[in-house]
Amino acid sequence: MTAPIIINIDTSTIQDLYRYVLSALTEYPRSREQELELEAPALLTLSGHCASTHHSAPKPTARSLLSLDHNQWMPPDLLNHVLSHYDRILVQSDDLGRLIELLRSNPETKRGVLSFWETPAGELGTEDPCLMYCLFRTTDEGLDLSAHFRGNDAVNKLLLNLDLMIGIHAYVAQMLGARVGTYIHHSDSIHVYKRDLETFRDCLSPASGHLSSPDLAY
């Protein structure tokens, strides 16, 4: 069994967490899955992040929760496609509002779950979302968020996934008037596709312009 990537970081930026994950992946052997070059399970924690949202709308769009401009490095069709998965829960249902009311009425509950999983067993396809659920829990540190992903595409989607989770975390804390606690990211497979190996190497190069941000070069 492959040992997971375990990263605990006290930082104000998801860029730091992203950089550490990419670097850690290089220490793992090649994946046994035909399409993948690198793969590892991961448990990541991010404390002290300073994502800030100031929303009054009860149903924020996924795009409104982002702190980074992902149009710089993601094709518009791919970005819109990923965001649409989140909007089905955030905008097109009442799940988020019910979650906030539950946490407001019972801050100590272990049932503060926002489920993103809609696919019946055995019917999972390539277009199904990777996020399974978010669990919100009040601790001594504030409102914690634990998100469980069945997988994360390290090159194309991981940074967006992290950005969205931090945005949702900050939004729910704001609606409750709570302090933002720790973000915990569970992933059964953070991976690099073989087709993206050159881009992955560029991400690790200090000379890389990938993501248009020197903060992401490692």
Query: Distance between CA 27 and CA 23 in Å, rounded?
Result: 8
Q: Is the pLDDT of residue 9 over 80?
A: no
- 3-class SS at 107? coil
pLDDT tens-digit readout, 50-74: 665 566 666 899 999 998 999 888 8
Query: Distance between CA 25 and CA 191 in Å, rounded?
Result: 8
Q: How confident is the model at residue 212 (pLDDT cuts 50, 70, 90)?
A: very low
Q: And the tokens for 77? A: 């069709």
Distance, first Cα to last Cα, the chain: 28
> Which domains does the chain show, CATH number per domain?
5-118+128-203 (3.30.572.10)
The letter for the amino acid at 130 is C
Torsions phi, psi for 180 (to 5 deg)? -75, 125
pTM, rounded to two decimals: 0.87
Q: Is the dihedral of CA 43, 112, 114, 53 positive or negative?
A: negative
Please tell me the predicted confidence (pLDDT) of residue 14.
Answer: 84
Please tell me the predicted confidence (pLDDT) of residue 218.
Answer: 29
Please tell me the predicted confidence (pLDDT) of residue 99.
Answer: 95
Sequence-ordered alpha helix ranges (H) in 43-94: 76-90
pLDDT tens-digit readout, 14-38: 888 888 899 899 888 888 889 999 9
pLDDT tens-digit readout, 77-106: 999 999 998 998 888 889 999 999 999 999
